[in-house]
Amino acid sequence: MICIPVTGKTTAEAAISMSQAFSLSDAVELRIDGMQAPDLKRLLRSKKGKILVTNRRSEEGGAFAESENHRCELLLEAIELGADMIDVELGTDKAILKKIVDTIKEKGERTELIISFHDFGGTPGTRRLRSIFEEARAEGAHIVKIVTMARNLQDNLKILDLLQWAENSHRKIIGFCMGDKGKISRIAAPLFGSCITYAALDNERATAPGQLTVQEAKMIYRLLIGDGFTFPRGEM
């Protein structure tokens, strides 16, 4: 599934980008960390497909500059409003992470929890990657997201191996490498078991280094798989 990240300084800006994104894909990541006073009720009410809410902390490449408690409150509000998924970093304070997990359980697990790990410095070895995956699962993740920086082409192979390992045990994972050397993993990831790959509305609205546009991603998949290629809908 292609998921298009949506950002905006205001709710109105984000709503416009959401409408554009849903016309190109059936899943949107709503990045509220750079938004001033996000009106989550308005934004989630206007969704036209699956919506993932992320409030990325600054330590992992996000723009949220307020307290961790307020960051948590916004994510809890997204759960209350029926977000299909939320993304919370593995490095989040354990008490806050537990509160999010408990709230999701109280709501009948209608929201899937993605627990994410980002390494902007490089790609750890296979043993470490698997350890991170297991740690996130133990914290209550429905889906584990592991994203690293590719310093060489071999780093892509580490992530693809991790995806295959998780898929073989029927556990949900999102994984790919960032950076120019990681672009190949963004394309290959869904073919190796990643349940989501991210693509930008356009180059100006990319949210991570090496992120392809949705038009580029779809073109490459059609070239690889055939003219009749369409992304599966509703597989999450």
Task: Please name the amino acid found at residue 41.
Answer: K
Spatial contact of 31 and 56, defined as CB atoms under 8 Å apart: yes
Q: Which residues are catalytic?
A: 118, 145
Task: Please name the amino acid found at residue 123.
Answer: T
Q: What pLDDT is recorded for position 206?
A: 75
Using alpha carbons only, what angle is made at residue 110 by residues 107 and 116, rounded to the nearest 5 degrees? 105
Q: CB neighbours (10 Å) of residue 145?
A: 26
Asked if the model's pLDDT at residue 236 lies above 50, the reply is no
Region 105-130: mean pLDDT is 96
Region 90-105: mean pLDDT is 95
Distance (Å, whole) CA 36 – CA 46: 18
Q: Which residues contact 218 (CB under 8 A, 6 or more apart)?
A: 2, 231
Q: What is the pLDDT of residues 188-199, one digit of tens each?
A: 999 899 999 999
* Stronger pLDDT, 62 or 21, i.e. the higher one: 21
Question: Residue 236 has which token pair?
Answer: 């999450």
Spatial contact of 75 and 100, defined as CB atoms under 8 Å apart: yes
Percentage of the chain modeled with pLDDT above 70: 95
Q: What pLDDT is recorded for position 141?
A: 97
Q: What is the pLDDT of residues 60-89, one digit of tens each?
A: 778 888 888 999 999 999 999 999 999 999
Q: What is the chain's mean pLDDT, rounded?
A: 91
Q: What is the pLDDT of residues 140-176, one digit of tens each?
A: 999 999 999 999 999 999 999 999 999 999 999 999 9
> What are the chain's domains?
2-225 (3.20.20.70)
Q: What pLDDT is recorded for position 133?
A: 98
Task: Please name the amino acid found at residue 172.
Answer: K
Strand 27-31 to 2-6 pairing = parallel
Spatial contact of 193 and 144, defined as CB atoms under 8 Å apart: no
Distances (CA, A) of 125 to 132, 156, 159, 214, 222: 11, 11, 9, 30, 32
Q: What pLDDT is recorded for position 58?
A: 80
Asked if the model's pLDDT at residue 13 lies above 70, the reply is yes
Question: Among residues 81, 113, 83, 119, which one has the least CA distance to residue 98?
Answer: 113
Q: What pLDDT is recorded for position 226?
A: 66
